[in-house]
Structures are given as C-alpha cells and as structure tokens.
Chains A and B, each alone.
Chain A
Amino acid sequence: MIELKPEINFNKHFKIFNIISIVLIILSVFFLLFKGLNYGVDFKGGTLIELRVQDQTINISSIRQSFKNMNLGDVNVKKFGNKTDFLIKFEKKDKKNINFINDIKNKLVLDIGNSFSFRRVENVGPKVSSELLKSGVIAILMSLSAMMIYIWLRFEWQFSLGAIFALIHDVIITLGFFSILNLEINLSIVAAVLTIVGYSMNDTVVIFDRVRENLKKYSNKKINEITNLSINETLSRTIITSFTTLLALVSIFIFGGEILKGFSFAMILGVIFGTYSSIYIANPILEYLNVSHRTIVKEEKNENFN
C-alpha cells in the first residue's frame, strides 16, 4: 500500500532545482533559436504521403530511389511504425498540376510494382501552413494570458506571476525537447501544448489554493514554511493525479498508433514538467515576491469593503 508521509523539506531543494530549471530553459532556448523546430507539413507546407506496401520485399531504399527520380526536390522517406509502412515528405509541389499525387502513384507503380497503397495524403499550401502556424502561436499565447488573468482574478498578482512562470517553463522545456530530439511539430503537438498549459495549471492551482488557506490560518508563519507545508499536504494528491494521467497517456503512447505518438509524448513530457514546476517554480516565486499573510488578508478586506 502506498502511503505517503509528506514531511519533505522542499525549501532545501528550491535553489538547486531552480538552477537546473534555468539551465534547462537556457538550453531549450538555445536549441530553439539555433536549431529550430522540425515543422511538419502543417506548418511548413508541402506534401506528406503515408504508404503501405503489401510486398514485404520492397525496401526503403527502392522507395527512396523512386522518389528521387521524380524531381520533387528534397524528399524525406522514413519507416512509420510497421515494417510495411513508410512516411514520405517533400516540399516542392507542382502548382499547376492538381493531379500530381496521381502522377507520383503512376511513377511509383513503374518502379516498385502496384502492391502498395496510399493510406494518407496531406498537402498543405504555403499560405495555409503559415496561417496554421500563426494561429497555433496565437492560441498558445492566448491561453497563457487567459490563465494569467484567471489566476490574478482568483488569487493575487503574485500568484498569477508564479503560475505563469511555471507555465512558460513547461512550454519552453517541452518545445526544447522536441527541438533537441528533432521530433516533428504538427497541429496535434500544439493541441498537446495547450492541454499541458491547462493541466500544469491544475497542479499549481491546487497547491496555491492550499497556500492561500494556510496563509489565512497561520498569520505568523513565514511564506517558505507555508509553501512547504502546503506542498506536503497536497503532495499525495499531486502524485496520484499525475500518476493516473500518465497511466492514460502511456497507454495512448504505446497502443494509440503512430499518429498519436508525438501528441502523447509531448503530453507525457508536459505532465512530468508541469508537476515538477508547480512545486519547484511556482512556489519559490511566491517567496521571492514576498507573499505574506497580509497579501491575502488585504484582499479579504477589500472584498468586504466592496
């Protein structure tokens, strides 16, 4: 039976973990700036073909060679899950010829025979892809600001700042991981990042709620004692919830098929960092901003006055 005895002194580790976080963020920003993200067709434009061969003897190099001969520019061919599935990506698109997919199919038949099928074709024009990228970035910024405003309304500005730092931390590190590992960024990754924003907020809010309660209860305790107490009191919940969410996500990652791999991986990263940041980022910020019993009581008074 898991029974958590929450008497951990988190304060002791704040400094060291904050330094680790800062290093991770700098590393992530460095990779994001100099290596950039590996955008999929959604955001870069171009064509994606998921190909399944019935004939197992067809290997990746013959497919690659066939595409090379079609003069499509830089063609990326890779295995996709099963042995028989391949993912082909290229940027060049013959604008005038709306049937270029059929032409590719016909040329492929000449090279590798007709025992294959296109399971999925995605073709995104440059205008659409830049719009999708723009709206993805706007959506993430919007949700960050919405969270900030919500926490500010429900708590105090110090809490809102702590929460938003934790969120930005999670988003940057998750994206940084995608840059370092060269994983593809597509629409579902943006959805994952937005969900991470909401999820990471969950953890933070639960701890903050307890911090507020304890600040009211103990007027003479210092903020670092209060945060430490609050984190400990909510720790079993934090761990259990992250654990059940991870159970669901790992299940999607392993059994949910290739298309959801990137999405679930981003979510798994986000849940881990989100849980970590609500403890080690959001709370120290309350301390740095000198939150005290008075911060909360003042708020109550104002409410009564109004």
Chain B
Amino acid sequence: MLYFTKFKVLTIYIFIICISFFTLSNFLSDDNKLINKKINLGLDLQGGSYLLLEIDNTPIILQKLQIKLTSLKNDLIKNDIKFKNIKAIDNKILFDVDEVHKNKFIKIFEDKNSTINNYFDKYKAFEFEYEIINETISVFYSKYGIIELKNSSIDQALEIVRRRIDELGTNEPNILKRGNERILVELPGLNDPSRIKNLLGKTANLTFRFISQQNEENFGSEKLKFENSEEEALVSKRIILSGDNLIDAQPRMDSQTNQTIVSFSLDRLGAKRFGKATTEGVGRRLAIVLDNKIISAPIIKDAIVSGNGQITGGGLDFQSATDLALLLRSGALPAPLNIIEERTVGPDLGQDSINSGIISLIIGFSLVIIFMIIRYKIFGLIANAALIVNLFLLVGILTIFEATLTLPGIAGIILTVGMAVDANVLIYERIKEELKIENNKIIAFDDGYKKSRTAILDANITTLISAFILFFMGSGPVKGFSITLGVGILTTLFSVYFLARQLTSFYVYKNKDNHISL
C-alpha cells in the first residue's frame, strides 16, 4: 500500500491543483474570464424569499366539465343517441338513456379512435370513465384524465408565474415545477415578498361584460361586487372579451383628469368584437371584471373600433395600475394559486450567518489541527496537510457543480473537518499496533494501511448512506447539508488514501532506518 509510481504521484498532485483552481475562483472578482464558476449561496445565506405555491384545480375540473357537457351533447346528437336530463353535478355529467341507446353509447365511448373520449397511448387509458346505474349514465374524469388535466394546468400556471416574475425584473429568480400541483419560487435578494405574493395570488381573469338590464338575478346574469366597495351590480354572463384578446397593457396618467389609468390594446379578433359590442351597446354600461370583481363599469359613449381602450376607476394609484397592467400583459392563471409555504431571510441575517459560519469553521479547524499535531507530531502534520487539501477539494468540487451552499451546508463542512481526521486516526492507531509486533517499518506501515482499510470504508459508506437519504428526503437548507456531507466523505477518502498516504510513504522510505515516533 505504500509504494507509489512517479506517474501516480504526479497525477494526484495535478488533480489537486486542478480542483484548487475552482476553489480559488470563488475568491476572484467576477470579471476573470478563465473560470467563472462560483458556489451559489443559498437563500438563508444571501437573503431572499422562498415561496411554495399550490394550484387549486377544483375550479378547472368544474370548468372543463362544463365544456365537456356542451361537446358531449353535440356528440350524442350527432350519433343519434337519445338522451334526457343532461346535467353536471359533483364532478360528473349525468344523463338518462334507454337500453338501446345505452349500448350505442358504450360502443362509441369505448372507441379508441373517437374524439368523444380521448385515449392516451402513454397511459393506455381513456380520459373519461363512465358508470351506468339503471337508466342513468354518469361520465367523469378517469385517474389519468385528472393527471393530464393537472399536468397541463401546472404547465400553464408555471408559464404565467414565470412571466409575471420576469416582468418585475427580480434578480435571477428560480422557478421550478414540484410534482403536478406545486410551483417553487426562489427569489434571491428579495427582502419583502409582499408585492410578488400579491401578484401571484391573483388569477387575473379579465372579462368585459355588459351590466344586465334586468333587475332580478336570472340564468344569464350574476351579482358581482365592485372592487374597493360594497356596492353590487347585476352583470351578464355573456363574455364580450376576455384577457386572452389583450396584446398589451400599460399604466398611464390621464392628462385631463389627472387619474391613473391602464390603457390596453386588443388583437384583431378582440378589436372586431369590442367594436361590434360597443356599437350596439352605446348608452349601456360595460363592466370590466377582474377575478369576479368589477373594477369599473363605464357607460359607453361612442363605439370603440380602434382596438384600444382604457380602464379607469377602482381607486387605482400608480402602483396598483402598474401591477394591474403587468397582470393583464402576462395573462391569466388557469386556476388560483395558494401560497402554502413561505420563507424569507433578510440580507443582514444572511451575512451574520456567513460570518458566524466562517468563524466557527476557523475555530473548529484550528482546534482539530492543533490536536493532531500534539497527538501525532510529524504524522499529524501530514494528516493536517490532507485536511487542508480536503477542504480545498470539497469547496472546489462544490464549485464545479455550482452547488448551493446553505448554513447547514457550512455546518456540514465543519463536521467534515471533525470527522475527516478519523480515517487517518484509524490508520495511525493501527500502525502503532503493528509497530509493536513488526520491526520492519515499511511492513508495519503497509500492514497498518491494509488492515484498517475495511473499517474505514465501512465507516464512511454508512455516513454516505445517511447523506444520500437526506439528499432525497430533505429540502432546501437540509439538502445543502447532505451535499457537503456526502462530497466531504469522498474528498476525505481521496485526501487520506492518495495524498496523506503518499506523504507518509515518502517520509517512511526516507527514515526507514531511523527512529519514527508516532
């Protein structure tokens, strides 16, 4: 175990030097072109906000089922299936048919090529399932239908969330999908997430609808509240325009009234519809509805055919007008998002954490180094050299993978320092035992290395298993801990078995005839 070829020695040192370059690149200024990799600081160290959003799919399922109801009706009529009492209740579409048409329905509903019920090849399943109780057929989403629906709604939501955050121009946001119901948003450097939370908390479903001319609520209209007041109005359910038709929205100052407004432009289809509706509806009130609240309901004075319009009222100040314009530009979320977890760390706390982390690292490191020299003298120095290189390698590898360093991650590094000497301690203690029974120093050292190997490997593999489990089960800061702990074990093994062993071998061969004190 002690013999090294020159080539091997060279390789070890070249490897160490290469990795160390990455370590050092963390301390160089940003404009060096050679290596521009750096360890990322976690949100707990640099400050920032972490938000976990969950999409509420219930309204989407109901909405999609309503659409399905309409298309199913058409399909049934097209296929000459006579049905009665079709309605959507509790996530199901129900209708009555007689015996003959029942079989006809089953036949087309189970046809993989029909458009009435989509067949997903990847799941080998239909979008909808059905159940027949007596004369009544109920149609509902299958398990995979729900999965597909969730997947598509999360993708849409992710896109909208990304657009909204990008529009705000925050510094390097990190927006990720978590499963098919959640979105994780990390906003480094953001101290106060309340504005973003406000923006993400709105669905931003914009519609233009006429105020109903009837006084009673009926099938075609609904009562909606005004934003910022308790006043209510009866609004027609017929949608003239929706947010989809918007191509731009900007906050503006109306020079005449000195009010903040949001001006918008419509696409061609939208402009045409808007023109037609405003031409027919001169004198009527047009409600601008956002998320089921009326922002304003101005009276149409003239037909608007240009495709440009503006939203006033609702107590808009410049900030809220800017946000409203942003929401309209980036589009509506398919469903509301709830913030189910939020963690915000101020930048000063992050800096304090870095400082205390570094202080405890330096102190812990020094104590271990002093102890090793006292205990093992020259071999303590070798173990310490290995420990320092170990730290360099650990930081270097974290840099190469651009890993995220968190406060528990720093704790992991300190812990690695404490545990890294273990392998050398095991080896040296074993060598001490071997020296008692073996006169030839080289054989004694060689045996010491050999006989301690299985214990060292087993001991490190068990810790590595813990680190792996933490990595897969943990989140955020804890994950950072598992990374430094795991990488630390690998660099420890390298520094002990290559560097420290090579240094030991060099020293032992030189002094094989002298007294070696260990």
A-to-B contact residues, CB < 8 Å: 1-2, 50, 52, 98-99, 101-102, 117-125, 127-128, 132, 135-136, 138-139, 142-143, 146-147, 150, 154, 187-188, 190-191, 194-195, 197-199, 201-203, 205-206, 209-210, 213, 233-234, 236-237, 240-241, 243-252, 254-257, 259-260, 263-264, 267
Contact = CB atoms under 8 A, between A and B. Distances in A.
24 contacts: A121-B342, A122-B344, A123-B339, A124-B341, A125-B339, A125-B341, A128-B340, A154-B458, A187-B475, A188-B478, A191-B408, A191-B474, A191-B482, A194-B469, A195-B485, A198-B465, A237-B425, A243-B371, A248-B418, A249-B364, A249-B414, A251-B367, A256-B356, A260-B407
Nearest to B353: A257
Given A98-B198, A121-B344, A245-B419, A255 B360 contact: yes
Given A117-B346, A132-B475, A206-B455, A245 B463 contact: no
Contacts of A244: 368, 371-372, 418-419, 421-422, 425
Given A143-B469, A241-B419, A259-B407, A98 B339 contact: yes
Chain B interface residue bracket vs A: 35 or more
B168 interface: no
Nearest to A117: B346
Interface of B: 44, 52, 54, 194, 197-198, 201, 338-346, 348-349, 352-353, 356-357, 359-361, 363-365, 367-368, 371-372, 374-375, 407-408, 410-411, 414-415, 417-419, 421-422, 425-426, 429, 433, 451, 454-455, 458-467, 469-470, 473-478, 481-482, 485
A123 B360 CA distance: 29
A267 B367 contact: no
Contacts of B408: 188, 191, 260, 263
A247 B473 CA distance: 28
Contacts of A187: 474-478
A234 B427 CA distance: 11
Given A191-B478, A202-B462, A241-B419, A101 B345 contact: no
Contact of B345 (A119, A146, A150): A119
A245 B197 CA distance: 43
A252 B345 contact: no
Contact of B349 (A50, A98, A254): A50
Contact of A209 (B414, B455, B470, B482): B455
Interface of A is mostly: helix
Given A119-B346, A187-B478, A267-B415, 19 more contacts: A98-B198, A101-B194, A119-B349, A123-B342, A124-B341, A127-B340, A195-B485, A198-B466, A202-B460, A205-B458, A209-B455, A243-B371, A244-B421, A248-B418, A249-B415, A251-B367, A255-B360, A256-B356, A260-B407
A1 B474 CA distance: 43
Nearest to A253: B360
B478 A146 contact: no
A252 B465 contact: no
Contacts of A260: 356-357, 360, 407-408, 411
